[in-house]
Chains A and B, each alone.
Chain A
């Protein structure tokens, strides 16, 4: 199967299969699938407010997806996006509440950069351990997720929040809120972050496809023996791509901390955005454009799901559908196998 075709057909088929499977589950459990999906559709496009919220939800998904995709393209599996996102969130808010009189054009970039740096630092650990000790990055980053969760909670409870479970609101000079977007979307929480997300997607594409460093990073991912033989510094490239991936994840946290919520609060469990980022990257075939599209799809599904109880369908159905979509994409061998059979039959 041609690569370009594969990049398009497999995601589309997987999404369709996922939705069909979701309908079957609704049928079996005695819900009305048509009413359910109609409510889902209404929850995404029914009101301009919902569209705004979908964009708001898609924003961190784009970053999480880019983080996972960037690592995938360079031969690494960054399952630690969740933790990197959480520390990025905290770092952004920390800067946001710490400086009162800074002008916006300094304060906001500073907060955003702090988030990127925190995420990068968190991803540096698995990158470094992989490069120096050949420790598998998946396990280390899973462990780092929990370290992030407990550490940020501790910092919020004991350092940042004077009382209660969350920090103060950030100063307006660090906020990503946009009155314009709020007005045209009927006061949803849509914020400027979506534009930063588009820029980030462009940067990822440009970096990987148009620069020699990007070529090196991809080459190390393909075959690090060959890359070493060609004179590339394999270890540094592994660390670098983890750090860049972590910076994307940290920026995703900044979107939540500076845009959506404008504070950081204690978390009893993970946000889930980082793990959904794996789904976004897989569905987007690890390309920048694909990630953006997939992020909007998943953002829409997540937002629309909140409307499904209106049709008496539990909103968890969407989580099942998303999980199934990942299974189908991951098992693309099955789709290819059917495709080849089909082609043979035609001949």
Chain B
């Protein structure tokens, strides 16, 4: 195996592994920037995976090749809707946001598996027929070297992920809406004084995170697992959370971190067939994303600080 081939396998599987993480971690950025911790990302991915598979199975006959794409939209909508549970508990009812997130994860998995048994009478769904396929991007894949590395044999969803990251950066840092959203997460009382509706902004942010989390789960299910069972989403949501922190609560940072985590994951999968890596125990690559996140938080890799008001319910008039 020559170097180019290794690089080709690694980069394409890194991009492939990273796409769901990118969507979900950017969802996390929105929520946390507004001051609501969202441990529930894992549960949102479960919901997205579940809904997309069920929708795909149910409508594949009438929608044909467009099914996975429509399933993405439906998963986004349902993810956004269900994230309201977390929003109501943590914003209006002032629940501990971490606790509410943990409860949301339990609820999402329980509900999804309950409904799978209700709908299909067994513990997991059938395999979907229409899925996302690897394609060569026209024109771009003809560029020498770069085209082969980045644009051939890829999923379109990976490039949508890049688009979402750039869009999220633009919205958060270049629009009035983004400024308001961030101000609510840094100093809600000051924002309130300036006439910004703190609760409303937080509700919107949590719903955006719900939509992106659902999207991430749907992409994962329709590219990787192709069915839904209890083991479809096992920790991807938490890894997205790690990517968000490693990316310092910044959409483009989260994008880069997710790519890097995808790279580490693909190394741990593909690594055994790569000459100079086969002697490295895969456990080091498996735990790398988590250890790096801890190091990032500690300040060894540039300090990562959470938005100031994240985790604190806003009560009007409290100082």
Min Cβ gap A97→B in Å is: 21
Residue B299 contacts which of A125, A133, A282, A318 (CB distance < 8 angstroms)? A133
- B64 beta carbon closer than 8 Å to chain A: no
Contacts known (A133-B298, A268-B231, A323-B110); A333 close to B95, Cβ less than 8 A: yes
Q: Which residues of A contact B100 (CB under 8 A)?
A: 327, 330-331
B312 to chain A, nearest CB (A): 13
Flag if B106 contacts A144 (CB, 8 Å).
no
How distant is the Cα of A334 from the Cα of B100 in the complex, in angstroms? 14
B85 at the A interface (CB under 8 A): yes
B294 at interface (Cβ–Cβ under 8 A)? yes
Contacts of B103 on A, CB cut-off 8 Å? 279, 323-324, 326-327, 330
List residues of chain A with CB within 8 A of the CB of B96.
Answer: 330
Contact A327 B293 (CB under 8 A): no
**B114 touches which of A153, A278, A316 (Cβ 8 Å):** A316
A111 to B298, CA, bound (A): 33
> Is B160 engaged at the interface, CB distance under 8 Å to the other chain?
no
Chain A interface residues toward B at CB < 8 A: 25, 29, 77, 79, 125, 129, 133, 135-136, 138-140, 142-147, 150-151, 153-154, 158, 268-269, 275, 278-279, 282, 314, 316-320, 322-324, 326-327, 330-331, 333-334
Q: A142-B238, A143-B294, A150-B283 are in contact. Are A282 and B114 (CB under 8 A)?
A: no
Q: Which residues of B contact A324 (CB under 8 A)?
A: 103, 107
Which residues on B sit within 8 Å (CB–CB) of A158? 281
- By a CB distance below 8 angstroms, the chain A residues around B241 are 139, 142
Chain B residue with minimal CB distance to A77?
B98
Bound complex: CA A140 to CA B231 (Å): 24
Q: When the two chains form the complex, which single residue of A145, A319, A327 contacts B89, counting CB atoms closer than 8 Å?
A: A327
8 A-B pairs (CB sep. < 8 Å): A139-B242, A142-B39, A143-B291, A154-B286, A282-B99, A319-B106, A326-B102, A330-B89
In the complex, given contacts A318-B110, A320-B107, A330-B96, what are 5 additional A-B residue pairs having Cβ atoms less than 8 angstroms apart? A143-B290, A147-B290, A153-B283, A317-B114, A326-B99
Q: How many B residues touch the partner, as a band? A: 35 or more
For the complex, give the distance between the alpha carbons of A114 and B120 in Å: 45
Contact call B234/A316, Cβ cutoff below 8 A: no
Q: From B244, which residue of chain A is reached at the shortest CB distance?
A: A139
Please pick, from B95, B281, B287, B297, the residue contacting A327 in the complex, using a CB distance under 8 A. B95
**Using a Cβ cutoff of 8 Å, how many contacts connect chains A and B?**
132
Collect the chain A residues with CB atoms within 8 Å of residue B281's CB: 154, 158
Kindly identify which residue among B39, B245, B297 contacts A129, using a CB–CB cutoff of 8 Å: B297
Summarize A's interface: helix, strand, loop or mixed.
helix
> Whole-angstrom distance from the CB of A328 to the nearest CB of chain B?
9
CA distance A248 to B287 in the complex (A): 25
Are A135 and B283 touching (Cβ within 8 A)?
no
Q: Decide if B298 touches A323 in the complex (CB within 8 Å).
A: no
Closest to A322 in B: B106
Which residues of B lie under 8 Å from residue A145 when comparing CB positions?
238
Counting chain A CB atoms within 10 Å of each CB, the highest count among B109, B287, B291 belongs to B287
Contact A269 B231 (CB under 8 A): yes
Contact A330 B95 (CB under 8 A): yes
Bound: A326/B107 CA distance, A: 10
With A317-B114, A320-B111, A322-B106 given, is the CB distance from A139 to B93 under 8 Å? no
- How many angstroms between the C-alpha atoms of A5 and B286 in the bound complex? 48
Q: Is the CB of B89 within 8 A of A320?
A: no
| Structural contact, B89 and A139, CB atoms closer than 8 A | no
